[in-house]
Amino acid sequence: MDAIGRAVAEGHAGDVVSARRRLLGLWSTIGVTGDPLHRCALAHHLADLYPADPARALAWDVRALDAADAATERRVQEHDGRLRLAGFYPSLHLNLADGYRRLASFAAAAEHIDAARRHVPHLAQDAYGDLLRTAIEQVAEAVTRRDTAERTPPKRTPPEQPAAG
């Protein structure tokens, strides 16, 4: 997870190409059958590194959700006792909704908005939770308007939680 966090920080600092290369290298090492928590974090953050390519971002967002579905609460707790697997899902579904929206697949986007809203009670009552709640409503409004324009996504990783959803 430390290597994932370093690559994510590199991307946030503006070196998207290097961050993408490092995360793709980690993905190759971990593989599709590796630790689901690592796969979820990697895929979740790799999606961020394709802001101008919604199809590629969406592919990584699907992988992140699939990995979260394979993860266990026990594994998440081993990584960080402050995290809960259920808390990953609002962000994961938000990202899928936004990706489908960008590709004009509005019915699929609406399904993921509904899923994100169902998981909102698992968000912390903090700035990051507020950020996600606001983003869910913003994407929902964009879906209603049939708007496919790129939006500025919320920062996905809370400062105290390095690389988990």
**Domain CATH for 124:** 1.25.40.10
Q: How confident is the model at residue 153 (pLDDT cuts 50, 70, 90)?
A: low
| Residue 90 counted as domain residue | yes
Q: Is position 51 within any domain?
A: yes
Count the neighbouring beta carbons within 10 Å of the beta carbon of residue 40: 26
> Coil, strand or helix: which one is 10?
helix
Read off the pLDDT of each residue in 109-118 and give the average, rounded to a whole number.
99
Domain assignment of residue 91, yes or no? yes
* Neighbour-count burial for 110-134, b at 16+ CB within 10 Å, e otherwise: bebbebbbebbeebeeeebbebbbe
Which of these ranges, 85-94, 97-106, 150-159, has the smallest mean pLDDT? Answer: 150-159
Global pTM?
0.88
Residue 159, pLDDT > 80, answer no
- Position 159 in a domain: no
- Residue 11 covered by a domain: yes
- Within a domain: residue 73? yes
**What is the band of 5 on the pLDDT scale with cuts at 50, 70, 90?**
confident
How many structural domains comprise the chain?
1
- Residue 11's domain spans which residues? 2-145
- Overall average pLDDT of the 145-160 stretch: 70
Percentage of residues of the chain with pLDDT beyond 90: 78
With respect to residue 44, please indicate whether it lies within any of the assigned structural domains: yes
Q: Is 39 contained in some domain?
A: yes
Exposure of 138 in the CB half-sphere (CA atoms within 13 A): 15
Q: Mean pLDDT across the stretch 100-105?
A: 98
